[in-house]
Structure 1
């Protein structure tokens, strides 16, 4: 009996690929050329510039300084201390009064770190440093707590038109968005007292409208989604060849700034059955 052996059609070959630069040094504005041999199914190019470094392709966190900034607008009424800025490292993410006031939930009042409106619209908070709440990469929650008193003067109305949290990277001062806008923070309202005086959430702002003089006591919280203060955005490469394309003989790129970069080519032979990958790095110096 004869036995015939053959490679399975599911086998994926190792990618054969080599890259040779025309030069390792280029003047600013010149085209940096890279010449290829081999024909991998896919080629992705990382220039080595900020936002396109291969070493950061899977990064989701990075050391930095988390900074909160917002604007506020106080209107009407004559009650003091009606708005508080709060933060928690152990809020469970369950948006109800029991969780807000649980003995296991601890809120820190950081109102004194920010500048609040005293009647002017779009009052800037200034930069609020949240470094002391980094919490080993675990999420935190930021809240605005509103209170209205039962007195003979009207309760305050507050609007928060702008809200951002940014991780300013230790390495290069690049700003990584943790919450890029009011909408991106994905707020939820927790009603505590007086259903008629509660935060309202829109795509562009947060607003709570206080009651008239003599209104019953009010309390309302509006709380962000879980925020990872050391969040970072993964760097991205540019796909320059796919499986359907013919063999690629070269690639050129123009760098925007002088400096020393590591140009990286990630190549792969990938099918539905498996993927085999190889990485080639080329140093590039751009002179002024």
Structure 2
């Protein structure tokens, strides 16, 4: 009798668990719908204010989320889906900073620009098929380890309607036995700006329209001898490092047969040893070949940018200021904002009620005149 009672209790428990699971699954599949738009309104005491006055916005309603667009530059609801600016005929400039260290070779680096490169980075010969204009003489290049500004150089004459502009930095390696070791160059803060600025009614200075920066330039290394005498250049998000191929000669440690890297029993490979190097890998010894043409070749490699569109710029969406940020936030009855410049502004409040599946939105616009 006792055994039968325990069996029935277990069956009941399983039944209840199954019912709960089915209820949760049904709940997850049901769409949560908010039927009504937010109850929301906003008013001001006046439609005209002076620069520096605090404009009081009186808010009523029960909206979960409230956002504010002042109507100023980059804060304008008209561009909440994105702001693309036509720059046709405006022209552009480039600037960067450079420094150099090591080596003794001179005139290794030059800066070039093209408007007919086809984007083929597969080989140096493919890159050279384009027409490249040397603009090095218009720029200031570093002479030591201190970063030096290049100055701002106008490249407007390279603009052709419908064609992007490409920038390349050419690095030449001469035979190092005769010309000395190569230098290592660093390029930072590479910037291409439009010569047209965006008028700024939210502050005192016009807004510079940047077409490309160091991170978005898209530099790629195109190396003449990538397989046999590879350059040591590197592209990162904030720096371009240009460095020629290593000069190979019999005095290098890699040609020393007693180098521990060639001894599989060396303590540098033993995790229990104090000399253990986790990055070391055993290598087979290859003696120096004095007849190899790649020990000390004439070689060049280029850092070539992506195509830069200087006829338009996408600034992305204008952004709002949060006034209320969720259903759990306390109700907001007053919001104040101060305009810094005179003008006529379409102020917009966007109020919304939100669930996982649904958003109901109300947009309220007030046109304000701000005087000096």
TM bracket (short chain): 0.7 to 0.9
Deviation string 1:169-200 (CA, Å, 9 cap, x unpaired) is: 444231234444x3454533222136344423
Following the alignment from structure 1 to structure 2, what is the Cα–Cα distance between the partners of residues 195 and 36?
Answer: 70
Alignment of 1:119-158 (within 5 A): 121-131=146-156, 140-150=165-175, 152-154=178-180, 155-158=182-185
CA shift in 2, pair 1:17/1:224, >3 Å: same
2:313 corresponds to: 231
The farther-off stretch of 217-226 and 90-99 is: 90-99
> Does 2:276 correspond to 1:192?
no
Query: Where in structure 2 are the equivalents of 1:151-230 lying within 5 Å?
Result: 152-154=178-180, 155-167=182-194, 169-172=196-199, 173-180=206-213, 182-193=214-225, 195-202=229-236, 204-210=238-244, 215-229=296-310, 230=312
Matched, 1:262 2:287: no
Q: Which structure has the highest helix share of the two?
A: 2
Q: Secondary structure at the match of 1:101?
A: helix
Seen in structure 2, the aligned counterparts of structure 1 residues 283 and 160 have a Cα distance that, compared at 3 Å, is same
Structure 1 portions without partners, runs of 5+ = 1-7
Cα distance per residue 1:9-28 (max 9 Å; x no partner): 63643445332112223344
Instruction: Note closer, same or farther for the CA distance 1:135–1:44 as it changes in structure 2 (3 Å cut).
Output: farther
Larger radius of gyration: 2
- Counting strand residues as a fraction of each chain, which structure ranks higher? 1
Q: Is the 8 A contact 1:92 1:99 kept in 2?
A: no
Q: In the TM superposition, what are the counterparts of 1:1-288 in structure 2 within 5 Å?
A: 10=33, 12-64=35-87, 65-74=91-100, 76-80=103-107, 82-89=108-115, 91=117, 95-97=121-123, 100-101=126-127, 107-117=132-142, 121-131=146-156, 140-150=165-175, 152-154=178-180, 155-167=182-194, 169-172=196-199, 173-180=206-213, 182-193=214-225, 195-202=229-236, 204-210=238-244, 215-229=296-310, 230-233=312-315, 234-244=317-327, 245=329, 247-255=331-339, 257-260=340-343, 261-288=345-372
Output the TM-score relative to the length of structure 1: 0.75
User: For the residues of structure 1 that align with 2:44 and 2:160, how far apart are their CA atoms?
Assistant: 45
Q: Aligned pairs, how many?
A: 277
Task: Indicate if the aligned counterparts of 2:34 and 2:360 stay in contact, CA closer than 8 A.
Answer: no
Distance (Å, rounded) in 1 between the aligned partners of 2:35 and 2:92: 45
Q: Secondary structure at the match of 1:13?
A: coil
Shift of 1:97: 1.2
1:125 deviation in Å?
1.7
Q: Is the 8 A contact 1:44 1:267 kept in 2?
A: yes
Question: Using the alignment, how far apart are the partners of 1:268 and 1:99 within structure 2?
Answer: 58
Distance 1:101 1:138, change over 3 A: closer
Could you tell me how far 1:283 is from its partner in structure 2?
A: 2.7
Distance in 1, matches of 2:127 and 2:174, equals 19
Give, in angstroms, the shift of residue 33 of structure 1: 0.7
Distance 1:158 1:226 in 2: 23
Mapped contact 2:139–2:151 kept (Cα < 8 A) = yes
Contact residue 211 and residue 309 of structure 2 kept, 8 A: yes
Q: Contact 2:114–2:132 (CA<8 Å) still a contact in 1?
A: yes
